[in-house]
Amino acid sequence: MFHKILIANRGEIACRVIRTARSMGIATVAVYSDADASSRHVAMADEACPIGPAPARLSYLRGDAIIAAALRTGAQAIHPGYGFLSENAEFAEACAAAGVVFIGPPASAIRAMGSKAAAKALMERSGVPLVPGYHGDAQDGATLSAAADSIGYPVLIKASAGGGGKGMRIVGEPGELAPAIEGARREAVASFGEGRLLIERYLTRPRHIEIQVFADTQGGCVSLFERDCTIQRRHQKVLEEAPAPGLDPGRRAVMGEAAIAAARAIGYVGAGTVEFIAEGDAFYFMEMNTRLQVEHPVTEMITGLDLVEWQLRVASGEAIPAVPLAIRGHAIEARIYAEDPARDYLPSIGTITHLRQPDETAFVRLDTGVRQGDVISPNYDPMIAKLIVWGEDRDTALRRLSRALNEYEVVGVRTNLGLLRTVAAHPAFAGADFDTSFLSRHEDSLAEPMILAVDRSLILAAGCLALLPEAQQSADPWAVMDGFETNGEGHADLHLHDETGLVVIRAAPVAGGYRLVLPEGAVIAQSMPGGVLIDGVPCRVRVLREGAAVTVILTGRNHGLTAIDPLAPPVVEQAGDGRLTAPIPARVSRVLVVVGDVVTKGMPLLVLEAMKMELTLTAPRNGVIAAVRAVVDDMVQEGKALVLFEAE
């Protein structure tokens, strides 16, 4: 066995590999870019080497710098993780040439799966079932059109060099074929530098079922069963589980044998995944991923194995461990991403200002590479964590998933937690009634639920308690208050902005708390550890305050509140240079003026939103609006001029 390995990756997968290496007594070397010097994976490793600037092509994709780091530190092997250099045949060869073991398959096996057309031809010869289709060399229009006719419409055109849905075209009838071929070919050439296409029968309601295989250098090759990764969004997996719901043992065995045949056909070594597309009782080979996958933990949870340990053993020349292989229970993985649901799930860039995660137990596993205070940067994948749960059966696992998702607290970046929670609670998901269109088909019923009136009262009450001075047992709290509008009757009016607009809440001190007049009625609200007491009833809620901005987290869902002081000077006032600029990078949430408007000093002109805080920009002086350079939903940089005034 190796005594020292280098991990050529970052984030959760680097941490994952380090954990197993450490448990096996193997020393670890991390590599890091300029953006990652204080990352969790660097802190976890025994040693760490800087490899370059933040962009991946200048650091994590620099095979030469990574191999040099391995040689310098005496690492005997390199674990590539997933992504980056993990399926790069040249890198695998360069490792070998430098005398360092690449923890992965032979370069020839990576290459054999790099071309879809060649891989399909090879699989066909090995008896692995293929979707009815054409993957021949001839690429002329007549050949392709005859092929499509004999396959039967609808057909799917795929780029042979493609992956992840790029260069794919669905064609419903013969008349649409020629332009679709032309478009797919253009996209394939632009994206992959080669225009070879294949045609398949288009399956309309497929599931994605993949088999985890493992092969060693001694001729051993086994199947570690399947994962169902059908729940995807734009070819990005969202939830994965094992075993696949409804897959009977006979079909599992047949798919396992097909996957082993696929691995053997390319002389595979190490951890690999054979992807199948399944419809009804049929299943067909799609592609093989020649790496350890993101979703490997669900296989670990149902088999009790450590796949990274197996990778290290196999890479050091050992045979696959002789242990019984069986499925126990059910596991589900949810990928938690920093993504903005309001912006079509684009990465949500920023600092994670608050992070609380469910406790790890025998049933709940958390694989993460980020900590509170870390930045989700545009340079890398915006994954925050993988949450993996296990249960004796699927229903139990699903309940544990919902519960753990409700305990997740992330502030500072937006996340897909709301979507994960609604999927986990969806009856069609519970009934395992899904195909690859699940998320788009159920888009409406997967929207975040309305906020119940009782929850809104709780949110407002918790927000008020965070903004009001700490309640006294008996003394007069108004004595220590400032910035609130108080009067002689011993109450204050709090002006709060929430999701629905402005709310005014009257607060009067009572022993140990406040009497709050909420839109739904008056309550007595008191703080308590981990939550608030509303009329004596304890409610679990997390409240985070940053100045006037309060985030209330209720069962994992964030609710932003902003306190507005009606008597205070304008929130943001700028020098009268005739321009109003963005004070921080933000999203424009409202534009309140148009060109030609006459405004007076202090009038609100624009509302920005950053880090869940609303910021009202007001007129720095009296004047006429000459230009408005922002529309709702724009992302604006700090210093950008948003509104121009006509010269005085």
- Residues noted as catalytic: 291
Smaller CB separation from ligand MV4, 20 or 230: 230
Minimal distance, residue 623 CB to ligand MV4, in Å: 53
Answer for the pair 524, 536: CB distance below 8 angstroms, yes or no: yes
Smaller CB separation from ligand MV4, 294 or 554: 294
Contacts to ligand MV4 by CB under 6 A: 131, 156, 165, 200-203, 206, 208, 232, 235, 277, 286-287, 436
Q: What is the DSSP string of 422-453?
A: HHHT-HHHHTT---TTHHHHTTGGGSPPPPPH
Q: What is the DSSP string of 140-204?
A: -HHHHHHHHHHH-SSEEEEETT--TTTT-EEE-SGGGHHHHHHHHHHHHHHHHS---EEEEEPPS
CA angle 73, 44, 26 (to 5 degrees): 55
3-class SS string, 235-252: CEEEEEEECCCCCCHHHH
Sign of the torsion angle spanned by Cα atoms 74, 78, 79, 81:
positive
CB atoms within 10 A of CB 363: 18
Residues 6+ apart with CB under 8 A from 23: 309
Minimal distance, residue 436 CB to ligand MV4, in Å: 4
Smaller CB separation from ligand MV4, 67 or 231: 231
Minimal distance, residue 160 CB to ligand MV4, in Å: 12
Q: Where are the extended beta strands (E) located within 280-382?
A: 282-289, 330-337, 339-340, 346-347, 350-351, 354-356, 364-368, 375-376
Smaller CB separation from ligand MV4, 202 or 310: 202
Distance CA 158, CA 401 (A): 35
Q: How many CA atoms lie within 13 A of 203 on its CB side?
A: 22
Minimal distance, residue 27 CB to ligand MV4, in Å: 38
Smaller CB separation from ligand MV4, 53 or 129: 129
Minimal distance, residue 568 CB to ligand MV4, in Å: 52
Minimal distance, residue 503 CB to ligand MV4, in Å: 43
Q: Where are the extended beta strands (E) located within 9-91?
A: 27-33, 47-52, 77-79
Answer for the pair 223, 259: CB distance below 8 angstroms, yes or no: yes
Smaller CB separation from ligand MV4, 235 or 540: 235
Look at residues 363, 460, 458, 354 and name the one whose alpha carbon lies nearest to residue 408. Answer: 354
Beta bridge partners of 143: none
Smaller CB separation from ligand MV4, 14 or 119: 119
Answer for the pair 392, 400: CB distance below 8 angstroms, yes or no: no
Answer for the pair 544, 474: CB distance below 8 angstroms, yes or no: no
Minimal distance, residue 177 CB to ligand MV4, in Å: 15
